[in-house]
Amino acid sequence: MLIDIMNVLVTGGSGLVGNALQNISNNHKLYKFIFLSSSDCDLENYEETMALFKRIKPEFVIHLAANVGGLYKNLISQSSMLEKNLLINSNVLKCAHELKVRKCISCLSTCIFPDKISYSSYPIDETSLHDGPPHESNYGYAYAKRILDVQSKAYRDQYNDNFICVIPTNIYGKNDNFNLENAHVIPALIHQCYLAKKNKKPFIVKGSGRPLRQFIYSIDLAKLILWTLEEYNGNANIALSVGPEEEKTIENIARIIAKCFDYEFELIFDTSFSDGQYKKTCSNKKLMENIETFDFTSINIGIKETINWFIENYKICRK
């Protein structure tokens, strides 16, 4: 029997999550995945984006592309994080609408959740996204992402487009950006500890080490995004996250990394650096009710695999 293979366009296909999706989606029976990088098309440019959509004619879109970075990149680039992400998201959604894409899944983040909410409201869930301003440290990125949610809903409401968003927590894994200044905490600390061990220098962790975060391994997230494409038929956002009980302090994470490197000296917490948002604990109740069961990679194994990859690919990785 002949089966129609459908095109799935993945924006941001060369990034951390895009690479993980490439890893798990090889030879899919139903879909042909097309992974984009910025060298295929500048998604900030509407004409280029439309030309690409017309050429590929995607039935489905997984929209991962974004201007992304850790706390210290966000702090110094509010305007570009806001402007670039607004442009990218608006262009992708408009083209997906014009080309009558059957389902468009876009990526938000738990770091756009409100900052000051009452402690009894934790864990936060999908319904609380707009219940107060985001943390000052990343308001540019956060408001652009919140508009991505608003725009997806507006297309749903006005045109019945099947546009939804997933909300991952802090992601880490192979092919991440390991830049010391711009990266998220796990890749930045992996790189810091690697250099500390190699040069017999102190392993410096920025901030107090006390903030709490949930972390998802990129391969787990890729599997959950594929599940969202194939199985999730809800018309509202869904958080893709480990449970609140998996929350870790930054100090916990630094110590796991130090142990993996056999780094035997003291850690130094440099409190001249901002801590960012203290916590943004997210519920994964909706996910678990819909998927029933999912085997999350333990953080110790995920970090170990990421470190091995980083060491093997030190010369060529993003850093």
Residues numbered 154 to 173 that lie near ligand NAP (CB under 6 A) are 168, 170-171
CB 175 within 8 Å of CB 16:
yes
Q: Is 189 in the site for ligand GDP (CB under 6 A)?
A: yes
Q: Which does 205 bind (CB under 5 to 8 A by kind): ligand NAP, ligand GDP, none?
A: ligand GDP
Identified catalytic residue from 141, 172, 194, 217: 141
| Single residue of 146, 206, 248, 319 touching ligand GDP by CB under 6 A | 206
232 is catalytic: no
Q: Which stretch binds ligand GDP (CB under 6 A): 13-21, 100-108, 154-162, 206-214?
A: 206-214
| Single residue of 9, 21, 43, 142 touching ligand NAP by CB under 6 A | 43
DSSP code, position 112: G
Q: Is 12 in the site for ligand NAP (CB under 6 A)?
A: yes
| Strand partners of residue 104 | 61, 163
Q: Is 248 in the site for ligand NAP (CB under 6 A)?
A: no
Rounded to whole angstroms, the Cα distance separating 300 from 296 reads 11
Least CB distance to ligand NAP at residue 308 (A): 19
CB 53 within 8 Å of CB 29:
no
Residue 18 or 209 with smaller CB distance to ligand GDP: 209
Residue 232 or 241 with smaller CB distance to ligand NAP: 241
Helix count and strand count (H, E) for the chain: 10, 12
| Single residue of 20, 64, 71, 88 touching ligand GDP by CB under 6 A | 71
Residue 110 or 263 with smaller CB distance to ligand NAP: 110
Least CB distance to ligand GDP at residue 208 (A): 7
Least CB distance to ligand GDP at residue 105 (A): 21
Q: Is 38 in the site for ligand NAP (CB under 6 A)?
A: yes
| Single residue of 207, 226, 258, 307 touching ligand GDP by CB under 6 A | 207
Which long-range CB contacts under 8 A does 290-298 form with residues at least 24 apart?
290/231, 290/232, 290/234, 290/238, 291/224, 291/227, 291/231, 294/220, 294/223, 294/224, 296/216, 296/217, 296/220, 296/242, 296/246, 297/217, 297/219, 297/220
- Mapped onto helix, strand or coil, the DSSP state of residue 65 is coil
Q: Is 114 in the site for ligand GDP (CB under 6 A)?
A: no
Full strand arrangement of the beta sheet holding 163-168: 31-35, 6-11, 60-63, 103-107, 163-168, 238-240
Least CB distance to ligand NAP at residue 65 (A): 4
Q: Which stretch binds ligand NAP (CB under 6 A): 61-69, 127-135, 238-246, 258-266?
A: 61-69
| Single residue of 6, 30, 37, 98 touching ligand NAP by CB under 6 A | 37
CB 281 within 8 Å of CB 141:
no
Quick one: which of 101, 32, 14 has its CA closest to 61?
101
Give Cα 235 to chain centroid, integer Å.
21
Quick one: which of 64, 24, 35, 53 has its CA closest to 226?
24
* Cβ atoms within 10 Å, residue 241: 30
Quick one: which of 95, 35, 89 has its CA closest to 67?
89
Q: Which does 188 bind (CB under 5 to 8 A by kind): ligand GDP, ligand NAP, none?
A: ligand GDP
Rg (CA), the chain: 19
Q: Which residues are catalytic?
A: 141
Tell me which residues touch ligand GDP (CB under 6 A): 70-72, 111, 170, 183-185, 188-189, 192, 205-207, 211, 213, 250, 273, 275-277
